[in-house]
Amino acid sequence: MPSASRAESLVGIQEVTDKPLQGSSDSLSDALQARTSFISKFPPLGPPDMVYLKKRYVPVVGADKIYGYYHFVRGAQPANVASVSAYIVDVVRNAGLDPLPWVSTGGWQIASATFVAYNIISKLDIKVHVNFPGSTSAFAVDTSGNDVPLTDTLWHELLVSSVVRNMSSHGEYPLYPCLRVVSSPALGVDSLFYEAASASCARWALSGHDASERPAPSPARSAIATAIRDHFLHSALYETAIHFFSNPKLHATDPDLEVYAAAAARMKGDLDAADQVIHRIIATNQQSQLAWMEKAHILRAKGDLQKALDAAKTASQVDDSQLEVCIQLADLFVDAKKYTNAFESLNGADVPTPPLDPFLRHLIPNRRNLTKPNDGSLRGTDVVRVLADRIREEKQLSNEKTDESLYELPAKLMTSTEKRCYSVLVKILNDLSWDQMLAVRGECFVMERDLEDGNGKLSISDVDDESDKSSIPEEGNGNHPSDTADAAEQLAQGVTSISLKDDDVHEDGHHDENGDAESLEARRKSLEKTGKKVCKPWLDYLVTNMYHDLKAMALWNAEEQQHSTESYFPTSSSSAEANGDAAASRDVEAQESEHTFQRTADEIVRDTKRPHVDWMRRGELALRLGKPEEAKVAFWACLKLAEKEKTVCATSLCRLLEMASDEGDVKTTIRCVDMLWSYLDSRISHKHSSEPSPAVPILQKSVFKLIAKRGLRVVRDVASSNMDINRKRLEGLLLDSVALRVDGFLR
């Protein structure tokens, strides 16, 4: 292959240079071949849409040579052959190759283009192939690699699939190489999408649900319906959601789809309208689990906890293993101070195994073999990838200066479903204490490993013997081990309650990992008589994660208390080192009733020797443990330290932005929006354009959520009075809120 010449690069679009599959005779279409071979193993939403170009190198002397290049794209709206061809024309003709230098030893031409998109309903890859000059062909490929004729139904399903991937920010986490986003998800909800959604609704259930590929019980429970619902509600597009899910063509197929219209009305604050919709659905179908779940949400919003709990229990009677209802019921049980029931409800959930993506894994080794478009030609189209790539780098950042104990916390690897369940456990922890929470768990469960060992020594019993079950309060007593400096030692003593051992060894010295089948069955029957159940591995995993999080939080608290000691009882640094953290902690504990100490971000920046990424991870740790104020301090300290290190922490900016918009904090939201947008602008070349980079989804959703909480007028007035921000950029986003009829745009 000739040396990397910018003449091979598309204007404004970065691509991966393809490499041949090991053992393959075709060196031109490795990525296409791999994609076809992995269709049956795609994750539920599949990969993003893909564009594969074959480029011909024409030397001055010798034969032509052809090389393959590809990039991924979201927002291309593949509704038919014409719309796909329009995107290809935009890439090939309007963007085209970078111009050659005036003296050249050869030139590049585009020989063909192939657009590939996954239909998540029919489980097909649909391909549109264009040769230059001349022909266009379109066909579908099934999981066996066989061609399938295209129909209008398949095109409708493909458009819905592509829009849902865009709504879900698919392809960012994990990041596909050279991902390009060409339109906002909100702009994809047009007449073509409504038509395609109505036509394909009856088959939505085939897209799977609960992050798995197994068919959903109904279209309303499908991955498609929940992705559309989440996009509308998280973007404060409540009117759009009501209009979409109230479509007679949709709820004629599945009446439960109208439940999401009721959810939008509830989020908008119109509880009576939401209640009327749910009452009508339940009157028609008493077994509508979705309707009873939404009924519980409405009653909770009205402040009637007991009736909300009754509604959630009714929902669980339809299917007590359904993930959403188990989490909702557990959350309500915690509010009602029924912690045993909360644990049992969580344990009843059927949590899916996170799907793998072998196709992405195949592409990773080649992801750094990229083309290099001319400076100033990217035009901001890859700004989503810039942010996702930066967040990925920050997550993986580790060197001799970073704290390995923070870097290796297992909770950072939790899936979105596991995070929701973890937040319920955190509510229990904040009401009780670590030992008391373990005691409650011991009343409910035994560990799977303890059951298999059969040695009569349940690991939870160590905690049960030391904890007086009658002392478990109905309300939080505020006495947390994680709030004291010796918490790490206390937690270490309690680790026996968590199955962390690799093997258990009997007294006679032999290993018995699985136990005898007959004795195991006998132990299970004996367990049934006690009323205890076996704790599912995923729930035990979350409790293990909480132990590690609390240990890290205890060390952080000890560090803060040491600074508090130095503040009230000044000593030299050498004296503090000689006494150690334990001595300093004892001094603080003696003063704890009189003094509470929490450093400000500026004080942390002044005193700390930690790098900014440690404070980013501490901020995320505090968020997981339900400590938002500590998280804010850590994130602001991270940003200030990053500025001193002449860098920016995008993760901390995103977290602060989300927290501020959730709280309706106008000034902080606008400040964070401007800081994040300025960072992204600085990473995109604008040599030939003064236009700002487009708003990435987190900017759009945060501003829209803020408008829904405070009203457009308040947001606009605060933005107009702030002379330190780029108001022109923000004005475009505010105009979008009017065009999309975001809730609050009239206030």
pLDDT tens-digit readout, 589-600:
333 333 446 799
- 15-19, 126-130, 623-627: which has the minimum mean pLDDT? 15-19
Lowest mean pLDDT segment, chosen from 179-193, 414-428, 635-649: 179-193
> Which pLDDT does position 7 carry in this prediction?
63
Share above pLDDT 70 across residues of the chain, in percent, rounded to a whole number: 78
Sequence-distant (≥ 6) Cβ neighbours of residue 56 within 8 angstroms? 64, 65, 66, 108, 109, 110, 111
Output 75 or 579, whichever has higher pLDDT: 75
CA distance 282 to 743: 27
594 compared with 54, residue with greater pLDDT:
54
Using pLDDT thresholds of 50, 70 and 90, give the confidence band for residue 109: confident
Confidence band (pLDDT; 50, 70, 90) for 709? Answer: very high
Residue 682 confidence (pLDDT) above 80: yes
pLDDT-derived band of residue 10, with 50, 70 and 90 as boundaries? confident
Instruction: Give phi and psi for 388, each to the nearest 5.
Output: -60, -40
Residue 67's Cβ-side half-sphere holds a number of Cα atoms within 13 Å equal to: 18
**Distance separating alpha carbons of residues 597 and 585, to the nearest angstrom:** 12
* Nearest-angstrom CA–CA distance, 330 and 348: 10
Residue labelled with tokens 């890290």: 552
Helix (H) or strand (E) holding 148, with range, is strand 147-148
Q: How much is the mean pLDDT over the chain?
A: 82
Instruction: Give the 3-state secondary structure of residue 618.
Output: helix
Looking at residue 272, its pLDDT comes to: 97
The pLDDT value recorded for residue 493 is 37
pLDDT, residue 190, reads 80
Assess contact for 44 and 28: CB atoms under 8 A. no
Q: Higher model confidence: residue 260 or residue 462?
A: 260
The dihedrals phi and psi of 129, each to the nearest 5 degrees, come to -110, 130
Indicate if the pLDDT at residue 584 is higher than 50.
Answer: no
pLDDT of residue 496: 35
Beta strands, E only, 418-540:
445-447, 533-535
Average pLDDT over residues 547-568: 87
Q: Please name the amino acid found at residue 635.
A: F
Q: What's the average model confidence in pLDDT over 364-387? A: 74
Mean pLDDT of 673-682: 92
**Residues 701, 234 contacting (CB under 8 angstroms):** yes
- Residue 46 pLDDT exceeds 70: yes
Cα 565 to chain centroid, rounded: 39
Has residue 368 got a pLDDT over 90?
Answer: no
Average pLDDT over residues 449-465: 48
Rounded-to-integer distance, Cα 75 and Cα 190, Å: 12
The pLDDT-based confidence of 706 (bands split at 50, 70, 90) is: very high
- Three-state SS at 526: helix
Interval 198-251: pLDDT, tens: 999 999 999 988 656 667 889 999 999 999 999 999 999 999 999 999 999 998
How much is the pLDDT for 685? 58
Distance of alpha carbon 520 from alpha carbon 508, whole angstroms: 19
Segment 640-644 long-range contacts (CB within 8 Å, at least 24 positions apart)? 640/601, 640/602, 640/605, 641/605, 641/608, 641/610, 641/611, 641/612, 641/615, 642/612, 644/605
Which residue in 195, 188, 192 sits closest to 235, CA to CA?
188
Task: Look at residue 251 in the predicted model and tell me its pLDDT.
Answer: 85
pLDDT surpassing 80 at residue 360: yes
Q: What count of other Cβ atoms lies within 10 Å of the Cβ of residue 470?
A: 5
Question: What is the structure's pLDDT at 381?
Answer: 54
**Euclidean distance between CA atoms 88 and 101, whole angstroms:** 25
Instruction: Name the least confident of 38-47, 210-219, 238-247, 370-379.
Output: 370-379
Bin 19: left if φ > 0, else alpha if -120 < ψ < 50, else beta. beta
- Choose between 111 and 466: higher pLDDT: 111
Tell me: pLDDT of 742 over 50: yes
Q: pLDDT above 90 covers what percent of the chain?
A: 58
CB 600 within 8 A of CB 633: yes
Residue that has been written with the tokens 């439960």 in this structure: 256
pLDDT exceeds cutoff 50 at 448: yes
Tell me what pLDDT residue 681 has.
Answer: 85
Angle 323-335/339-347 helices, nearest 10 degrees? 170
Give the least confident one: 426-435, 470-479, 705-714.
470-479
Of 131-145, 268-282, 636-650, which gets the smallest average pLDDT?
131-145
Which is nearest to 35 in space by CA: 371, 254, 357? Answer: 357
- Residue 278 vs residue 693, higher pLDDT: 278
All residues at 6 or more sequence positions from 151 whose CB lies less than 8 Å from its CB, including other chains:
none
- Does residue 432 register a pLDDT over 80? yes
For residue 129, the cross-strand partners are 114, 137
| Residue 316: partners with Cβ closer than 8 Å, 6 or more residues away | 322, 325, 326, 329, 345
By the 8 A CB rule, do 411 and 422 touch? Answer: yes
Burial of 634 (C-beta count, 10 Å sphere; 0-12/13-18/19+): buried
